[in-house]
Amino acid sequence: MNNLGKYLEQVRREKKFSLREAAQKSDLSYTYIRDIELGMNRKTKKKVKPSPDSLKKLAEAYGIEYYELLQKAGIIDEGTESALDEANSKLDKLIEETVNNSTHIGTIPLIRTICAGDGIIATENIEDYVAYPLLKGNKPDYALRVQGDSMKDVGIDDGDIVFLKAANWVEKNGQIVAVIFNGEEGTLKRVYWDEIDPKVRLVPENKNYKQIEAYPNEIHICGVYAGHFKSEFQML
């Protein structure tokens, strides 16, 4: 009888579990548990090598250490538990450092006011600066404060601060943009186009507003949406 099997049988008897009780508690068959205790399959006469999952079930059923069973089964060496704890500690530290290094607080110019329904985008005079936790390599170019509710169905509400990457067109169909239409309106909309239609569609995210159809030369995209913060966001 191998060391693992002898140990498991000893623990089972100390717990006063019958094989059927042990099977019920561990969700393993009682014949398999007995084979593990004997160290061999009684039908095939071959050596039994319980899986880590089976050992975990037995450890939980008997209230004993899982790592100890892994060691007795020869799956891990002595000292592996402390090595794993040390590795996990190093991994936790690495994850924390990665998170801390992936962001930093930056400032972005706030460019007057944009009306997300029907207002006029202001000139490019900087009104203020807003703080923003920036993912490295993903810094927006400027911010605009929303007035109106034409984008409320995607969570962009009146007073929110929207962050934009400066661009004169979009990479993907359906992206949210700050766009001037016909030289007059500054607005937030989704922009859609179709290869067979010469016009583009500026689509709000509010059923109370109508979409706008325009030729490309009638619109000017000022920036592509890169995130937003709610109206309680604090400025510096």
Q: Where in the sequence numbering do the catalytic residues fall?
A: 150, 189
Please name every residue paired with 130 in a beta bridge, in sequence order, or none if there are none.
108, 235
Q: What amino acid is encoded at 157 in this protein?
A: D
- For residue 92, what is the DSSP state? H
DSSP H or E stretch at residue 232? none
Query: By CB neighbour count within 10 A (0-12 exposed, 13-18 middle, 19+ buried), where does 21 fall?
Result: middle
- Give dist(CA 43, CA 183) in Å, integer: 86
Q: Which two tokens stand for residue 170?
A: 């979009």
145: helix, coil or strand?
strand
Q: What's the half-sphere exposure (Cβ side, CA atoms, 13 Å) at 80?
A: 12
CA 211 – CA 78 distance, rounded (Å): 69
- Helices 3-14/30-38 angle, 10° precision: 130
